[in-house]
């Protein structure tokens, strides 16, 4: 059976308590926590999760320009490595099995050194972190982001190439339907390509809203996951449309749209999965 979680970062500045309460209310199994281990107390988060019957599914690293695992400047690169290792410790303490790794940060859309050199440095950085993470029982999931957000890894084929060069058992790749809809010819075929190394999945529709609110073919995506016998988490990472801040009762409107997208995401994917289950049983 698949498990479902939500990246709590999509709720912006909302208190974590409110986000976790919503996620539990809509029947999720876990929460993907934003990778800011310096601002969250482990004991507090553990208590919150336990009280709502949820797991920490994963930690989503936040890769700003000063957290660049491929940077030619050793001080920037070392800062990035130290940050991801802190996320790994955070994951281990919360019982999360996966930390998401983006080799080149969001906002870096072209190389600042020869491509091959940045690729080599990214590989070395991830290998270093991967060895550390293995000792704590944590996996690293390499994520490809679209070309408008970063440049080094945009396609699943590139994620797999980097993963194979890192060559550690606890380093795999992940897929994200939103980024793949921009970069790949076939989402289903790329899931098939990644099969043996696929350890995590992000779901958002073509407009980055909840599944079913855009035009991605989630039937073929889900069928591909079933065909490769994927058993990990499906994590919703939708971004609801902005609400005008000047409207009356802004907080109520924001809460309603968060509820709408949180419920839509799991209900839509679960319904498709149940349909496939009936077909498989026949």
Examine the pLDDT at 242 and tell me if it is beyond 90.
no
Q: What would the pLDDT profile of 100-151 be if each residue is shown by its tens digit?
A: 999 999 999 889 999 999 999 999 999 999 999 999 999 999 999 999 999 9
Structural domain span for residue 268 = 3-281
- Model confidence at 164, pLDDT cuts 50, 70, 90, reads very high
Phi and psi for 178 in degrees, rounded to 5?
-65, -50
Q: What is the DSSP string of 76-107?
A: HHHHHHHHHHHHHHHHHHHT--EEEE-SS-TT
Query: Are 139 and 171 spatial neighbours (Cβ–Cβ below 8 Å)?
Result: yes
Phi and psi for 102 in degrees, rounded to 5?
-115, 115
Instruction: Give me the CATH number covering residue 272.
Output: 3.20.20.150
Report the phi/psi class of residue 171: left, alpha or beta, with left for phi > 0 and alpha for psi in -120 to 50.
Answer: beta
Q: pTM of the entire structure?
A: 0.94
- Model confidence at 282, pLDDT cuts 50, 70, 90, reads very low
Examine the pLDDT at 174 and tell me if it is beyond 50.
yes
Cα separation, 69 vs 99, whole angstroms: 14
The residues near 108 (Cβ < 8 Å, ≥ 6 apart) are 65, 68, 150, 151, 152
Cα separation, 172 vs 162, whole angstroms: 10
Query: Are 226 and 276 spatial neighbours (Cβ–Cβ below 8 Å)?
Result: yes
Q: Which residue has the higher pLDDT, 52 or 13?
A: 52
When divided into structural domains, the chain yields a total of 1
């Amino acid at each position: 059976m698949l498990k479902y979680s939500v990246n709590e970062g999509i709720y912006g500045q909302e208190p974590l308590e409110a986000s976790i309460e919503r996620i539990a209310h809509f029947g999720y199994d876990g929460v993907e926590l934003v990778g800011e281990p310096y601002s969250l107390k482990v004991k507090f988060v553990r208590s919150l999760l336990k009280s709502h019957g949820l797991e920490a599914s994963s930690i989503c690293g936040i890769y700003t320009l000063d957290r660049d695992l491929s940077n030619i400047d050793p001080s920037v690169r070392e800062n990035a490595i130290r940050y991801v290792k802190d996320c790994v410790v955070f994951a281990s303490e919360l019982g999360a099995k996966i930390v998401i790794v983006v080799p080149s940060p969001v906002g870096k859309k072209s190389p600042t050194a020869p491509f091959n050199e940045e690729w080599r440095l990214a590989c070395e950085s991830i290998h270093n972190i991967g060895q550390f993470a293995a000792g704590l029982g944590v996996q690293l999931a390499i994520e490809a982001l679209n070309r408008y957000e970063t440049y080094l890894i945009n396609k699943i084929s590139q994620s797999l190439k980097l993963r194979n060069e890192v060559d550690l058992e606890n380093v795999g790749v992940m897929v994200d339907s939103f980024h793949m809809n921009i970069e790949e010819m076939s989402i289903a075929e790329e899931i098939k390509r990644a099969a043996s190394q696929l350890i995590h999945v992000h779901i958002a529709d073509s407009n980055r809203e909840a599944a079913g609110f855009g035009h991605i073919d989630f039937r073929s995506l889900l069928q591909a996951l079933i065909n490769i016998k994927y058993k990990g988490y499906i994590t919703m990472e939708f971004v609801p449309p902005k609400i005008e801040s000047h409207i009356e009762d802004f907080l109520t409107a924001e809460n309603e749209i968060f509820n709408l997208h949180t419920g839509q995401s799991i209900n839509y994917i679960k319904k498709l999965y149940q349909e496939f289950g009936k077909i498989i049983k026949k």
